[in-house]
Structure 1
Amino acid sequence: MQANDFPVPLTAGHSRRVLLLGATGTIGLATAQALIQRGYDVVCFVRPRHSAKGQMTQSLKASALEGATFRYGDPTHPESLTRDGFAHEHFDAVISCMASRTGSPQDAWRVDHQAHVHALEAAKALGVKHFILLSAICVQKPLLAFQHAKLAFEKVLIESGLTYSIVRPTAFFKSLSGQLERLKKGKPFLIFGDGQRTSCKPISDHDLGDFIAGCLDDTGRHNQVLPIGGPGSAITPRQQGEYLFQLLGKEPRFKSVPVGLMDVIIGALNVVGKLIPAVADKAELARIGRYYATESMLVWDAEANRYDAALTPSHGKQTLFDAYEMWVRGQTAPDRGEHAVF
């Protein structure tokens, strides 16, 4: 019998300290806010921003997390993690919302795998009992470098002896927000094929942050791999476009992009990438785009050989369509950063 067979929840009388990695991302920010609301002592370990714009952004995010402690260093460097992050202090849990920014093979293995191995080793050495990992539902059918890197660390975490919670969310709102400006300008909504090949149950940053924070005290989420989506039915890209056109009062217009065209582009980039490393990274980005164009972000039923919305758990209150309504009314849509496809 292993030590993590009987996970011990954090007790109300304990200081309940949490080290959060990836706090400056939108999901990390939402997770930090959920932790603070629950009364946890939250330490956010982040990289310092040297540019004026970076410092301003970091300052705004810090102000949104009143009550949290910010420490600065390099979360991907083992010495900095121990010295600047953990600072040789006691923590009950580590939560990582950290992820590679580009998805390129080198970045994925450096961040999604190796940096997390360093964090896990430091956590174990300092007596941390619980490690919560933000992963991704797409690792169910791994074809890409970042998926293999995430899965490799998931295996290390499961075998570590610590209590673990591996959260695999479906699509994020910010990943599905990019075409609103296209439609406002009178352009068609881009779809792959007929726009009904894939579907997802998107989850908001707020609801996902709430779910991640809830993993600390909900023993039913301990030592579990946890696929999670937002509320409501699964929706296809075509349904997303139709709803946006309806909100904008415009006649629906769609432009289909053949998946085969992406294969041609990927093939060409692969050839050039053998000579120019930077192009190889672009080829991987194209493969990522193709993956999301052809695979649903739902639980994969291996026995039935299909994605199943009914098997995909839901959490929270806000739907993607709720968010669309707010963005059309003028609320700023999220900054997609590397999540941009269109």
Structure 2
Amino acid sequence: MSRIALLGATGTIGRATAQALVDAGHDVVAMVRREPGAPLPGVTLRRADPADPVSLMHDGFAGEHFDAVVSCMASRTGVPRDAWAIDHKAHSHALALAERCGAGHFVLLSAICVQKPLRAFQQAKLAFEAELIASGMRYSIVHPTAFFKSLSGQIERVRSGKPFLLFGDGTLTACKPISNRDLGAYIAGCLTEPDRWNKVLPIGGPGPAITPREQGEALFALTGLPPKYRSVPPGFLGGIAGVLSLAARLIPPLATKAELARIGHYYATESMLVLDPANGSYSAALTPETGSDTLFDHYRAVLSGEAVPDDRGEHAVF
């Protein structure tokens, strides 16, 4: 058993990671800004603001010893101000406190999209990853592919008889979706599996890779409804971003909406798979897999009422 400081425990992946750490027998202290919406069994909660280094030091770590720090913390929107405050600066404070409290391992949940960093949140994540690697502390940096929650937004559209929306013909991108439970278990395993130490770890769920078109086909098959699709030009969100950027010169708050549109365009046009360094293309074969939960099993569970789709927040494209 190890004593673990957990950041980001109130998010969907953070909750699953907390459960996996408790199931593995660890003593988990979650440092949260607000009370979680549902209990975290077996977890000690401390109210601390990770974005405030004084609060994190006094209310979170409190001068106590921890064997490891696990962070599932991420900015909510991904816009530059939030990204650099949370994805970089707050993590830098957490790393400094991890060193002070004697932690020997820092496990970081990052994202596979940082391998092609076109947006501020990706650059902020990479900046902290570089700090962590250079710190000399043992690290595990996890780069997951798409989450189930990000691919479940059209379930109600299809169930209500509306067409499934696609960018282009729906085969432009692909991913190996990973469930909260499987990712949480993988993150917890980084503490005890030496082959995950001092590495950047891309990881997906069980294959094969799935395109948006195949997601739509599965939903129509599961609902028994006739397939209906509507194609959106791949540059649609990019065009919206351009218009909003111009309008932001007169109405500054629109700059945030423009960045969210750019983030949406990124996810709509880039695969969440490992980039093959040999040819610069995305490769399903090079993307490792873990777990047993499949996206289509998740669709069945949501359609039957056994599961409820997670709130996709600011990064919802549809």
TM category, shorter: over 0.9
Give the TM-score of the pair, scaled to structure 2. 0.98
Shift of 1:59: 5.2
Unpaired runs of 5+ in structure 2?
A: none
1:34 paired with 2:10, answer: no
1:78–1:118: 8 Å Cα contact kept in structure 2?
yes
1:174–1:339: 8 Å Cα contact kept in structure 2?
no
Query: Could you list the per-position Cα deviations for residues 92-134 of structure 1 after superposition, in whole angstroms to 9, with x for gaps in the alignment?
Result: 0000000000111100000000000010011112221100000
1:20–1:94: 8 Å Cα contact kept in structure 2?
yes
Shift of 1:135: 0.2
Name the SS of the counterpart of 1:128 in structure 2: coil
Unpaired runs of 5+ in structure 1?
A: 1-14, 50-57
Match of 1:334 among 305, 310, 318: 310
1:314 maps to which residue?
289
2:71–2:109: 8 Å Cα contact kept in structure 1?
yes
Amino acid at match of 1:30: A
Query: Could you list the per-position Cα deviations for residues 219-277 of structure 1 after superposition, in whole angstroms to 9, with x for gaps in the alignment?
Result: 11000000000002000000000000000001111100002322321111111123323
Cα RMSD for the two superposed structures: 1.0
2:34 maps to which residue?
48
Alignment of 1:83-162 (within 5 A): 83-162=58-137
Give the TM-score of the pair, scaled to structure 1. 0.91
Distance in 1 (alpha carbons) for counterparts of 2:175 and 2:267 = 10
Distance in 1 (alpha carbons) for counterparts of 2:124 and 2:252 = 20
Percent identity of the aligned residues?
63
1:12 maps to which residue?
none
Alignment of 1:290-301 (within 5 A): 290-301=265-276
Distance in 2 (alpha carbons) for counterparts of 1:71 and 1:38 = 21
Shift of 1:205: 0.3
Alignment of 1:1-342 (within 5 A): 15-49=1-35, 58=36, 60=38, 62=39, 65-331=40-306, 332-342=308-318
Q: 1:308 to 1:59 in 2, by over 3 A?
A: closer
Distance in 1 (alpha carbons) for counterparts of 2:30 and 2:238 = 41
1:55 maps to which residue?
none
Distance in 2 (alpha carbons) for counterparts of 1:109 and 1:265 = 24
2:190–2:197: 8 Å Cα contact kept in structure 1?
yes
Distance in 2 (alpha carbons) for counterparts of 1:275 and 1:316 = 49
**Number of residues of Structure 1 aligned to a counterpart in Structure 2:** 317
Shift of 1:48: 2.4
Amino acid at match of 1:239: E
